[in-house]
Every structure is written in structure tokens, then in C-alpha cells.
Structure 1
Amino acid sequence: MNTKYIRNVAIIAHVDHGKTSLLDQLLYQSGMFRDAELDKLAGGQHNLIMDSNPIERERGITILSKNCAIDYTDQDGSEYKINVIDTPGHADFGGEVERVMKMADGVLLVVDAFEGPMPQTRFVLSKALENHLKPVLVVNKADRTDSRPDDVVTEVFDLLVQLDADDDALDFPVVFSSARDGWARRDMNDGNDNMKPVYDAIIHSVPTPKDNPEEPLQMLVTTLDYSDYVGKIAIGRVFAGRIGEAQAVTVIDNEGKHTLQKVVKLYQFSGLGKAEVDIVQAGDICAIAGLDPVDIGNTIACPDKPSALPVISVDEPTMTMTFRVNDGPFAGREGKYVTSRNIKDRLDKELVTNVALRVEPGNTGEEYKVSGRGLLHLGILLENMRREGYEVCVGKPEVIIRKIDGIRQEPIENLVVECPTDCQNSVMSLLGDRRSEMVSMEIKGGEDDFVRMEFRIPSRGLFGLHARMLNATQGRAIMHHTFDRYEPMRGSIPQRQAGVMVALEQGQVTAYALDSLFDRGIFFVKSGDAVYEGQIVGEHCKDNDIEVNAARAKQLTNMRASGKDESARMRPPRIMSLEAALEYIQDDELVEITPHNIRMRKRLLKETDRRRAERKTRK
């Protein structure tokens, strides 16, 4: 196909602003599928088609960037191919956004018609401008009763000015839409009921590829897929020349090493899948099977005149935690992969596709220091490992401190909190204790008055903040954050205020024991759960740790009859998610992750060992 009729566009947005829903509607209305086919691909439950990963479906977020292609016929009869890249909206998956930007010539910037630009909007837009991509603004959720589309357009323009956008980027087209209802309009009053204005904005505003098919081959690998039949599949954009099936190519790795290889199969994207083709020319996005070794950032070049493209640059990680072998009493009961070698092999496999991840040896042969963009970034990796049958223990997350010009500096996050005005004082008090500084504050009108506050806060201050924020605002606050920059250390930040209850012995939790400990605090376990010595079974109502016997059984005597403990006092247990558990633990504690359980425990399981370590610390 002539590059004149190809458009390469990435959809970018802040989390939950509707970019994946928008792409779903573009696919539905493209005429390439019947509704039944799309509903089947979406799981038959009206889920989002592009959120194909099980965790994406469960959490309603996009984790992995994905490719698809839409065939569109313009009103003058011209047939276009639109290559679309769906990107994550959460800040922790910024590495996914950065590596796929190279494939696009323009971006659909999706912004909520009420919320306006948010922290991740700034991040993804700055990456688009760094790659000189033309933005097309889609003001989504314009059907909301509290929407303010005109104000949002102005705010996006102001954001572009702050990011030093050039005149071409500032002259962006605007489309108002409701992805949920399937309509888009250039003017809110025109009554259009389909997505045609979005297609037209892409065709007429996103530049055509400027790549030259007559030059020597150059293709940049930005994504890796895998097939049980053909092995690794390298996905990327052809920037120069042509590539054909069975063609000899030179793969240039990130260190500059050249490897002569052969293309076994060649694919172009078609709808939600891939179609095998004989040749792909410059300007298009394709997938190649049969190359090994090949990694993200490699250049696939012409053997006669091999020339490498610039390596993809990705921002460095800001957080690290220790992965180690599960050495608890219940180790090996549930997991299939439990050794340090199993964990190392899985982390090496993740490094191939997760460009924002870093892995280093730990203090012992059974530990690894794993660094990433944030708690959710590392939490998703752990959740995937758990579902695959791995058992692992992880330590408390720590921010990565850098020395810049001889000064210790820490990562600072841009935090935005939206809450009802009557919660404003609670939020400001909570954040004031965590070394934050307020940047701006504004009142947003609507059915209820909301206040939008923007802060700069150390990444350390975010640990445990989400739960405390929900408690302080009765669950009415919404918070988002993204990495901003490194600044000198801001001093100490309050740690967990409450102590914990630690199990004294191994056994099964009884209602009798929970009843006797009712006034001591909140439990993380329920009657019937198996616990072991050193496991954290609850939160103490005071600031010190205590040892408790959660498996104590009722002694049967002439004065005590056995019963079913109907009268036992028991609060509902606090069920901790993986990320919540990682935020909760302290330096002397670990989270034990298995296929069926998430437990918190002390590093040293025996009480005598903990006391001995405490005495050494005091000395």
C-alpha cells in the first residue's frame, strides 16, 4: 500500500479517561467485524476488546500496549489503513508508552470532559512531543452532566504551552465524544451519532509516513510477542526500505553487535489479528517471525548496508524491592516454582519485554533486587508470577536514592487529589505530615462542589497513603500521581503508627482465640485459616508489636462444654490486596506470595531471634 494511505496513530490518556473504550467503538464502527464476533473476542460480557489480559479485565486498566489496524474508506472513496497503538494510562506503565511512541506519526489525546488534564496526561503528552507527534484532542465523556468541554480544551492548550510545544502542535483539531454511547462531534450541537469525526481527524490531521522505501532497510523493534509454533515475533515499524518473507537481514543489538539472520514469516496487522504477507514497505508496522536473538530496541537492517537506528530511551526506575525464596513453614505447599533458579529464570524472561524493569543480585544468592516505576508496576509482575505457580517473598518497597552533584536526592511525584470541599482539611492535614507542598488548588463545580489540589510529594510519602486517604475522606477522594523529578531529600516521613499481632505457634485459627483477642485490634485472618509462628495475623490497637496465640483451642472440662462458638465475638477480617500488603509492611517484615494466599510475616519467625536482633540494633 502507498504510504499516502497509511496512518500510524497512538491513543494516549490519563488512566480511566476512556481511550480503550474509544478504540473499541472505532473497531465496532469500522465495518470490519460483526457485533457477535467482537462480543466473542471480548469474552461475551461486553468487556473491552483490547484489554485481553486477565488482570486488565479484572482491574479495568490497560497494562500492555497493543496493536491493531482499521480499514477505513473516506467520503471520496479513498481506502486508508489506520495502524492504532493502544497504550496504558497508569504512570507505573510509562515504559510501555515510551517504547511504542516510535511507531506513531500522531496521537489521539483523550481527556475527560470533567477532569481535564491530569498528571499522566502531562507525562504521555510530553513523550509525544519529544517524538514530534501531531496531537488530535478527543474530549471524551462529553455527555456527562458536569462536563466542561470548552474549559478542558483551554486547559490542554495551556498544558501544551507549558511543555514548549511548537506552533504545529498548538494548532490541534478537537473532537468531542462519548465513547460509551458511540458518537463523536466536531461541534457539540451538530447531532452526529457515530465516530466518523474521529476517523476524519486521523486521516486529515495525522501526517502521512515520511519514510523512504528506496533506502536500505531499517526497522526498529519496539515489541516482542511469542508463539509456540514460530518462537519470538518481533514487532516494529519499517523506517526505510522494504522487507520480504525469506529475506536475509542483519539484526543489530543494543550493544552494536551484528547477527545475520533470515525472515521466516512476515505479518501485517489486520483488525485485531495479523495476516501473513510477502512484503512490507517503509511507513508500515509489521511483525517478523524467525529471528533469534532479537530484543526490544534492536534494529533490523539491510545486510549490505547495515545501519542502526537510535536505541529506545526509557526513564530509569524509581522504586526497588527484594525478591527472595519463600522459606516459611508453608513453603512448597502450593507453588510449582519455588527455587531461586526458578525466580531468576522468570525475572530474566520478564526483562525481555518489560523495558522499564531492572534486576540485580541481592545480598545473598537467594535474593534479587528488582526495580521498577512504582508499586503497581512491580505488583502486577508479582501477581502474574503468583498466577503462574511461583512462590516468592518480597520485602518493603524502597525508593531509589541518587547522588546528584554530591547531594542525596529522592524521586518527587506530582500528586493530584480530587475530593468534596468538606474533606479538604483532612486531605491537607494528611499530606502535610508527608513532606508535601501544594502547587495549586481550584474548585470544580457540578452536582457537588469538588476541590482539585495538586501537590509535589516524595515517593516515600505515597506508601500507605491510599488507604489512609480513603479513611480520612470516607472513600470520596480520588488521587493520581506520576513521577516528576529528583530533588534533595526532604527529611523523615511518618511510618506505620500501629503495631502488629504476631502468631506464637503454628496451627489453625479458632473462633475462641479471636474472641479472647477481640479488644486487641483488627485481624487479617479468620477462623479456620492456617497460620504459623512469626506470621502477622492482625493490627494491634497500640503502637507496639505483640505475640498472640491465634490457634488457641477451648479446653474441655466439666465446667466447659464444647460448643460451636456461636457467641464468639469476631469482626470481619481485613483482607489485604497484594499492593496494600506491600504498602503495609515495615523493614523487618515480608509479604509471602503463593498461588492461593498472600500472607505477611516477620523476617525472623522466632520471637527469640527477633529479640536478639533488636538488642544488637540498640547496641
Structure 2
Amino acid sequence: MDIRNIAIIAHVDHGKTTLVDKILHQTNVFRANQDTGELIMDSNDLERERGITIFSKNASVVYKDVKINVIDTPGHSDFGGEVERVLKMADGVILLVDAFEGPMPQTRFVLQKALQLNLKPIVVINKVDKPNCRPDEVHDAVFELFFNLDATEEQLDFPTFYGSGKNGWFNSKNEQSEDITPLMDGILQYVPAPKVPEGNLQMQITSLDYSTFLGRIAVGRVARGSISEGQPFSLMRTDGRIQKSRVKELYIFEALGKRKVTEVLAGDICAVVGIEDFTIGDTIADIENPEALAIISVDEPTMSMTFSINNSPFFGKDGKFVTSRHLRDRLMKETEKNLALRIEDTDSADSFLVYGRGILHLGVLVETMRREGYELTVGNPQVLVKYIDDKKHEPYENLVVDVPSEYSGKVIDLVTQRKGEMLIMESKGEMQHLEFEIPSRGLIGLRSQMLTNTAGEAVMAHRFLEYKPWKGPIPGRSNGVLISKNQEKTTGYSIDKLQDRGKFFVDPGEDVYTGQIIAEHIKPGDLIVNATEPKKLTNHRASGSDDATRIAPKTLLTLEECMEYIQQDECIEVTPKNIRMRKVILNEDERKKSSKSMQSEAVG
């Protein structure tokens, strides 16, 4: 059967998953009366809640007797590791670009990877129905981007389609059409069929699936030869070992599911059941003359966090998995499929250093573990420092902010305070387009401040650039925190009296413990407060004065906001039901001793 393998790449929120929906509907994957909802491929709970794609996924459709394997990829730079490995399965890419925003930092990142692999690009300019859209300017900007990324002459001659994924039409003329047929024809016309070299079996495992019945399933594209059910093969490990194994069952992708087959030929994407111990990047090769494919290279992590067991007074109340052994096993299991993640042991048996691409990358891991029933403590995020020629270097990022003109001054002020340098400032309709170069450290906590200062109007995106010399100290949080003095339930009476001291993160009636952060102080410096004191009862009735307490609702912080908020001596307690911020050392006297000894060491 004729095959096309295509990956859909784009910046976050430019419409990849919506386009996949339209392709599935166009090829009659569903019954006419079937209610499928939207964003069909974003099947994970976290993806649906956040409205972003986190894991790359495969689907397969048949159009004009040609099988098209579609790979939906994440658009967020923190999940770039997912994109880098699945591009190996494709022969062509659809680069989706928003007709108003144009190419964004992540567009550049994924396009560069695709061009390096010599994939055939098709450019789709989406959302041409938006007000203020500028499809012709965006087309020129995309061409310039290709040119800057050293695309070949053949790649520079890319076909362009215009349309609206939401309204379900795409064509090459930027005039509304019936459906996405012109784009589907374009895929058949411009994306080459897989090139199959002569030789024995070669298939690289580029992602993994899991089934409670079948166990771990290896997914990849057969690069050479063919693979069949019951066939013995050599599994060539990334560490150089070779182990013999046998194919138990073989599946190909069909629509949104899989279909069992007896043989898969080179060029198709398939799932292999029966391999006990494998990692992404391993090669399934011929039993007699095994030859390995090149190992998948993934960009290095830029940020680290300490994951420890939960040692708060409320330890073990919510979670099923609370020991360091549980934590270690779960983190090691994650590294098997999450290539951009690295785990290191620390001096303590209860703590592990986890390296990732950014706060969102690490935050999604913590959130997933929490939902699985794990209790843990996570520390303050740190950027990775390298010493090059005995000089300290840190990661820098390219930061792009689109904001209404009246707020541009505030944005520039915020970024320059954090050692950012402005590179570009230009108008896009009523919006101001700003580009900066900023140390990765400066991005921690920047998003929430920027949204506060721009009334939620700023659209911010960033991408790792390179390591450059250390920029010196960057100011962190300006305000201190209010810390609970004792362990009890908070009372409305106490919180009411303390409201003028800060913004509270807890409501009356919540359990708190000594050393827990319960509010943000209105001034610099920390303050220990008693928020659990009840009102003393007297035999005097005060008419109406009890009703007069007006307590502002608590400030709810998401997990990522907590990660950006905490300082060096603070951490987050994460359980299936609660996220609490606390001091690393709960006892006040021990905290003072520790800070004195650290100061004397610094002076010494």
C-alpha cells in the first residue's frame, strides 16, 4: 500500500490538534452521527485541562487509497524532546503558522530539527479568518526563517496553503473553499513516499506505549526490510549491548487505534509487543547481521530541581506512595520515555536531582505523579551552570512578548530588571512585538509578574539559545512571607486580624503546620504569625460585630506558579489532594542557626 508519513509541527496554540481533527473527519474515520468532541488527539486529562499537547501521538487515515500516518506533536519548547524523537518517523512536515502572530520561537526550534533531517516541508498559514491577520507578511516571514536556517533550494521552494482549521477549509489561493481536500491532495503530491534502502531489518524505537494487558509496547518506523509476527531479532541497546528477542504481536496504526497484523514492510509505522527491556533509541535489527541506527540526539536539559520524600507533619495523610524507593522507581520509569529528563542521586538517600527543559516540563511530571498517588517535596528550580575555559556560563533564552502598545513600557522595564536585553521592537497592528535575550534565571517568576502588570494581555514565549557568561545576581521575589507559628486549624478571627499584613494562601478552617507559608507579606522579610487563635468567648453578646468580618478569598496558586514563587530556603509539599508551600527547615530557631552558619561560611 502507498504510504505517507507526516508530522505536524507548530508553536503552541497555532492549531495543530484542530487540524488533525479536520483530517480525521475529512477521511471519514468516524460515523456520520458520532459525537467526537474537539481536540480528539489530546486524550490525556492534563492536556485537556491545560489546552496544550504534551505527548506526541500517532493516527492513521486512508485518503484516495493512500495511507497517511499523521504524528501530532507538542508545541511547547519544554516538550521539545518529544518532537525531536518523533520527527525520525516522518518523511515530511506540515509547518502550521498563525496568520496574525507569524513564526514564533518554537516554530524556529522545530523547523530547524525538521530541516536538519531533510524532511519535505508544507507550510500552512492558519486562522486567516482572524481580525488583523496578515497572511502575505507571514508568508514572507516564514520564507525568511527558512533562509536563515540554511534550508536547501528544494526546501525553500515550499508549497503554501491558507485557511482556517476551526472553520474546516484550506487551499493554496487564500479563498474560502468547501473543505480541506486541497491540503490532503497537497500531502499526496508534495510529501515523498518513504525511501526504502536494501538490506536486512532495521527499526528504531522512537516512542513507547503501554497496555495493562500487553505491557510495554515499542513504537517506531521500519527503516529497512520487514518485520513479522514470531520473528526473532536482535535488540541493539543504546549502551552497546545486544540482546536476542522475538516479536510476540505486531500492530499498525489505523484511525485512532491499532490493528493486529502479521507483517509490516519498510516505511510504515508499527507497534511491537514482546520486548521485555528496551529504551527509546534502541534498534530492532536482524538476528544474524544486526546493524544499529544512529542514536537519537536530544538537546540537553537547562534546569534542575530537587525531588525528596514528603517530611512534613502531614506526611502520609493523602498519598499511596510515600517512600524514597517509590519515588526513585517512578522517576527512573519516567526517564525511559522522557528523553529530555535526567535523574541523579544526591548525598541523601531521600532526595534526587531531576534535570529538565523548564518549569512546565518538570511541573507536568510532578502533577502526573501527584495524580498517581505520590507524595513528595520539590525544591526551588535552579538553572544549570557550565564552566567554559574556567569561566561561569549560564543558559540564555530568546524571549518574545506580544503586548498592547500601552503596556510595552512596563514589559521592557520588567525584563531589563532581570538582565534582559531588547533586540527587536516593532508594531503588529495594535500590538507591540518585543524580542529580548535574557538569562534563563530571569524567566523564573516572570510570567505571573508580567500578566499582573499588563492586565493579562501579554503573550509570552521563549526558546533556549545558548550558554553565555554569567550575568550576575538577578533580583528575586521582593516581598517576604507569613509563616504559621503552630499546627492547628486556621480561624476566620485570626485571618481577619492579619489581613492587612498580606495576601493569604489559606482559608479559615484549613489545617496548617509550623513553618508552612500561609500568606505573602506586604513588605520584604518574613514574619511568623498565629493564624489559628480562636475568638475568646465572653458572656457579652456583640450584636452584628461577628458578621462584620470580611475575609478576602485565598489566592490560589497553580503548581507552576508555586515553583516560580518559592525562594532558596523554601519548598513545595505536593500530595494528591494538596499543594502547600513551606520553609525547608520548619523550626524557627534551627532556621536562624542555619542562616547564620551560611552567612559565616560566605564571609569565610
Q: What TM-score range do you get, normalising by the shorter chain?
A: over 0.9
Partner letter of residue 162 of structure 1? Answer: N
Counterparts of 2:132 and 2:142, CA distance in 1? 18
2:362 aligned with 1:378, yes or no? yes
* Alpha carbons of structure 1 residues 556 and 430: separation in structure 2 relative to 1, 3 Å: same
Work out which of the residue numbers 41, 54, 63 in structure 2 matches 1:50.
Answer: 41
Residue 560 of structure 1: how far off its partner (Å) = 6.5
Counterparts of 1:405 and 1:609, CA distance in 2? 39
What is the match of residue 435 of structure 1? 419
**Pairing of 1:230-309 with structure 2 (within 5 A):** 230-309=214-293
Partner letter of residue 144 of structure 2? Answer: D
What is the match of residue 88 of structure 2? 102
Runs of 4+ aligned residues of structure 1 deviating over 3 Å after TM superposition are: 35-38, 558-565
Q: Residues 241-288 of structure 1, C-alpha deviation per residue, up to 9 Å, x if partnerless?
A: 011011011100001211111000011111111111111111111110
What is the match of residue 575 of structure 1? 556
Counterparts of 2:118 and 2:580, CA distance in 1? 47
Counterparts of 2:414 and 2:43, CA distance in 1? 38
Partner letter of residue 537 of structure 1? Answer: I
2:391 aligned with 1:400, yes or no? no
2:317 aligned with 1:333, yes or no? yes
Q: Secondary structure at the match of 1:293?
A: coil
Percent identity for Structure 1 against Structure 2: 52
**Pairing of 1:167-566 with structure 2 (within 5 A):** 167-189=153-175, 191-212=176-197, 214-445=198-429, 449-559=430-540, 565-566=546-547
Counterparts of 2:280 and 2:78, CA distance in 1? 19
Residue 32 of structure 1: how far off its partner (Å) = 2.4
Q: Residues 91-129 of structure 1, C-alpha deviation per residue, up to 9 Å, x if partnerless?
A: 000000001010001100000000000000000000101
Counterparts of 2:599 and 2:390, CA distance in 1? 30
Work out which of the residue numbers 564, 579, 584 in structure 2 matches 1:598.
Answer: 579
Counterparts of 2:249 and 2:382, CA distance in 1? 44
What is the match of residue 150 of structure 2? 164
Partner letter of residue 94 of structure 1? Answer: G
List alignment gaps of at least 5 residues for structure 2.
none
Q: Residues 415-450 of structure 1, C-alpha deviation per residue, up to 9 Å, x if partnerless?
A: 1000010101101111110111111111011xxx10
Partner letter of residue 541 of structure 1? Answer: I
Q: Could you say what the CA RMSD is over the residues aligned between the two structures, in angstroms?
A: 1.2
Residue 474 of structure 1: how far off its partner (Å) = 1.1
2:25 aligned with 1:28, yes or no? yes
Q: Secondary structure at the match of 2:41?
A: coil
Residue 477 of structure 1: how far off its partner (Å) = 0.8
- Contact map agreement 2:318 2:575 (CA 8 A) in 1: yes
Q: Residues 122-148 of structure 1, C-alpha deviation per residue, up to 9 Å, x if partnerless?
A: 000001011111110000001112111
Q: Residues 349-372 of structure 1, C-alpha deviation per residue, up to 9 Å, x if partnerless?
A: 111111110000123110000000
Residue 35 of structure 1: how far off its partner (Å) = 4.5
Q: Residues 150-181 of structure 1, C-alpha deviation per residue, up to 9 Å, x if partnerless?
A: 11110000001110111011000001121111
What is the match of residue 69 of structure 2? 83
- Contact map agreement 2:18 2:38 (CA 8 A) in 1: no
- Contact map agreement 1:9 1:82 (CA 8 A) in 2: yes
* Alpha carbons of structure 1 residues 10 and 570: separation in structure 2 relative to 1, 3 Å: same
What is the match of residue 115 of structure 2? 129
What is the match of residue 138 of structure 2? 152
What is the match of residue 115 of structure 1? 101
Q: Residues 572-606 of structure 1, C-alpha deviation per residue, up to 9 Å, x if partnerless?
A: 21101000001000110010000011000001111
Counterparts of 1:199 and 1:277, CA distance in 2? 26
Q: Secondary structure at the match of 2:329?
A: helix
* Alpha carbons of structure 1 residues 353 and 550: separation in structure 2 relative to 1, 3 Å: same
2:123 aligned with 1:142, yes or no? no
Residue 559 of structure 1: how far off its partner (Å) = 4.5
Counterparts of 1:362 and 1:390, CA distance in 2? 20
- Contact map agreement 1:245 1:264 (CA 8 A) in 2: yes
* Alpha carbons of structure 1 residues 564 and 376: separation in structure 2 relative to 1, 3 Å: farther
Residue 528 of structure 1: how far off its partner (Å) = 1.0
Residue 47 of structure 1: how far off its partner (Å) = 3.0
List alignment gaps of at least 5 residues for structure 1.
40-45, 74-78
Partner letter of residue 311 of structure 1? Answer: I
**TM-score scaled to structure 2, two decimals?**
0.98
Partner letter of residue 148 of structure 1? Answer: R
Partner letter of residue 513 of structure 1? Answer: S
Q: Secondary structure at the match of 1:517?
A: helix
Partner letter of residue 58 of structure 1? Answer: E
Q: Secondary structure at the match of 2:347?
A: coil
- Contact map agreement 1:47 1:57 (CA 8 A) in 2: no
* Alpha carbons of structure 1 residues 331 and 561: separation in structure 2 relative to 1, 3 Å: farther
Q: Secondary structure at the match of 1:566?
A: helix
Residue 618 of structure 1: how far off its partner (Å) = 2.9
Q: Secondary structure at the match of 1:360?
A: strand
Partner letter of residue 461 of structure 1? Answer: G
Counterparts of 2:5 and 2:513, CA distance in 1? 56
Counterparts of 2:79 and 2:543, CA distance in 1? 55
Q: Secondary structure at the match of 1:300?
A: strand
* Alpha carbons of structure 1 residues 612 and 334: separation in structure 2 relative to 1, 3 Å: same
- Contact map agreement 2:229 2:250 (CA 8 A) in 1: yes
What is the match of residue 56 of structure 2? 65
Counterparts of 1:416 and 1:356, CA distance in 2? 23
Counterparts of 1:615 and 1:487, CA distance in 2? 33
Partner letter of residue 71 of structure 2? Answer: I
- Contact map agreement 1:514 1:569 (CA 8 A) in 2: no
Residue 84 of structure 1: how far off its partner (Å) = 0.8
Partner letter of residue 561 of structure 2? Answer: A
- Contact map agreement 1:238 1:282 (CA 8 A) in 2: yes
Q: Secondary structure at the match of 1:409?
A: strand
What is the match of residue 9 of structure 2? 12
Work out which of the residue numbers 579, 587, 594 in structure 2 matches 1:613.
Answer: 594
Number of residues of Structure 1 aligned to a counterpart in Structure 2: 600
Residue 562 of structure 1: how far off its partner (Å) = 10
Q: Secondary structure at the match of 2:560?
A: helix
Residue 563 of structure 1: how far off its partner (Å) = 8.4
Counterparts of 1:141 and 1:250, CA distance in 2? 48
